[in-house]
Structure 1
Amino acid sequence: MEPARILIVDDEAPIVELICAYLRQDGFAVATASDGLGALEAVERFNPDLVVLDVLLPGLDGLEICRRLHQTRNIGILMVSARAEEVDRLMGLGAGADDYLTKPFSPRELVARVKAILRRLRPTPSGSDVLSFRHLALEIDVERREVRRAGRNVELTPLEFQLLRVLAASPGRVFTREQLLQRVWGDDFYGTDRVVDVHIGLLRRKLEVEPGLPQPIQTVRGVGYRFSA
């Protein structure tokens, strides 16, 4: 089986060398870039499965790179930064990152998070091939991992698709943030449950393809979220 390809984007050479050594030791194929434009070029050339992306970079910053990548690719992104405030973490997740790791960090922890993201990117089996909701003009093709709303294709990241699939498989059921973390992110997720709110927000915006359509995902205040029954 071909090893997963990891792109490291950071302008601190010692950190890059250390991360590369640990990832290669675990059998990953690794490439590097040291600035924003170089990162975009490396993505086209190397076609990585996951990008370890520093926030503060020469040229384009990590947040803008993250947004651009998610416009055209389904790719895992682990954002790293010296900024440890919650608002910085939420900005990174809001840009589309799968996880956020603050510096300084243990290389072993970074490798563990890379593996966890890659596991979440893998398709998971489902008992139903297509979930169709006429009252929402929404169709979810589980096998092909495609979503259509009002006849239009909706491009979702793998994590967003998993989140929508879990909710849509049980219309009307209220899921707490902890339950969604367990089902979508898994036991090996290290972050806060605020990541659920961030990705629900991203998912809702993508599903709003036409004014007047009802919102498929409803907030249950003080509890969590449910899919419209």
Structure 2
Amino acid sequence: MRLAIVEDDDEVGDALVEVLTDQGFLAERMRRGADLLIGHRRCDAVILDLGLPDGDGLQVLRQLREVSSVPVVILTARDDERTVVRGLRGGADDYLVKPPRIAELVARLETVTRRAAVAAAGPEATVIITGDVRIDLEMRQVEVGGEPVTLTQKEFELVEALAERPGSAVSRELLMDRIWGDAFMAVSRSLDVHISTLRAKLGRPGLITTIRGFGYRWGQ
């Protein structure tokens, strides 16, 4: 996999290139946002720092999304909730805070690139499997460990909206707009209650992860 590492700090950038090359990536170091905007076609995924010498990484991300859907994992020292939310809403596929755990970074890179490959391959599958959870979108059925789970219409629609983007952060606004038809705060509490009920019915801790200040993620 061809990987662009956009990082102006030489110590951090060189260390990432070395360790990710050892993991089998073809890692290319870029020091500026402009380098990425010019050379993004050479890469299959991007690790993007936000503190760049020629501009803020969030602005670089917005510019990149105007011309490319290449998977992007933000890797930065900024861990405040507002920046995390802005990064995800701005088009990042994932967000990690420095220093990263290399195994987790590799796993997240594999997840975002696999998801991009599935999207590029064509129509989405009608059956989604996560661990021992099987979702038949056409039959509108869910099984856990081979046993059927009875869901209400809205509960299934929530599962569908989350599971069709495995590993991706899905905003509360998108979920509320899709399930209830309007992203008003009046139904915000309804979303929380439905998510809580879903977790209890599915009985798989960690399957639906809360992303504070943003929304939810299905799977890892």
Per the normalisation by structure 1, the TM-score is 0.59
Change (3 A) 1:168 1:13: farther
| Matching of residues 204-219 of structure 1 within 5 Å | 218-219=181-182
AA of the residue aligned to 1:53 = L
Q: Is the 2:49–2:76 contact (alpha carbons within 8 Å) kept by the matching residues of 1?
A: yes
Distance in 2, matches of 1:168 and 1:82, equals: 43
What is the match of residue 223 of structure 1? Answer: 191
Q: For residues 44-101 of structure 1, what are the alpha-carbon distances to aligned partners after superposition, in whole Å with 9 as ceiling and x for unaligned?
A: 4x2x111100011111221111111111112100011111111110011011000000
Determine whether 1:105 maps to 2:100. Answer: yes
Q: RMSD across aligned C-alpha pairs, in angstroms?
A: 3.6
Distance in 1, matches of 2:88 and 2:18, equals: 26
Determine whether 1:200 maps to 2:195. Answer: no
AA of the residue aligned to 1:96 = G
Per the normalisation by structure 2, the TM-score is 0.62
Q: 1:20 aligns with which of 17, 20, 37?
A: 17
Q: 2:69 aligns with which of 65, 74, 80?
A: 74
What is the match of residue 142 of structure 1? Answer: 123
What is the match of residue 57 of structure 2? Answer: 62
Superposition deviation, residue 177 in structure 1: 5.9
Q: Is the 1:77–1:98 contact (alpha carbons within 8 Å) kept by the matching residues of 2?
A: yes
Q: Is the 2:137–2:160 contact (alpha carbons within 8 Å) kept by the matching residues of 1?
A: no
Q: Is the 2:50–2:57 contact (alpha carbons within 8 Å) kept by the matching residues of 1?
A: yes
Distance in 1, matches of 2:74 and 2:91, equals: 10
Q: Is the 1:93–1:198 contact (alpha carbons within 8 Å) kept by the matching residues of 2?
A: no
What is the match of residue 29 of structure 2? Answer: 32
SS in 2 for 1:196: strand
Residue segments in structure 2 that go unaligned for 5+ positions in a row: 125-135, 141-151, 195-220
Aligned residue pairs, count = 164
Residue segments in structure 1 that go unaligned for 5+ positions in a row: 127-140, 144-165, 190-194, 205-214
Distance in 2, matches of 1:16 and 1:198, equals: 34
Percent identical? 28
Distance in 2, matches of 1:88 and 1:100, equals: 10
Q: 2:166 aligns with which of 185, 197, 200?
A: 185
Determine whether 1:93 maps to 2:92. Answer: no
Superposition deviation, residue 182 in structure 1: 4.1
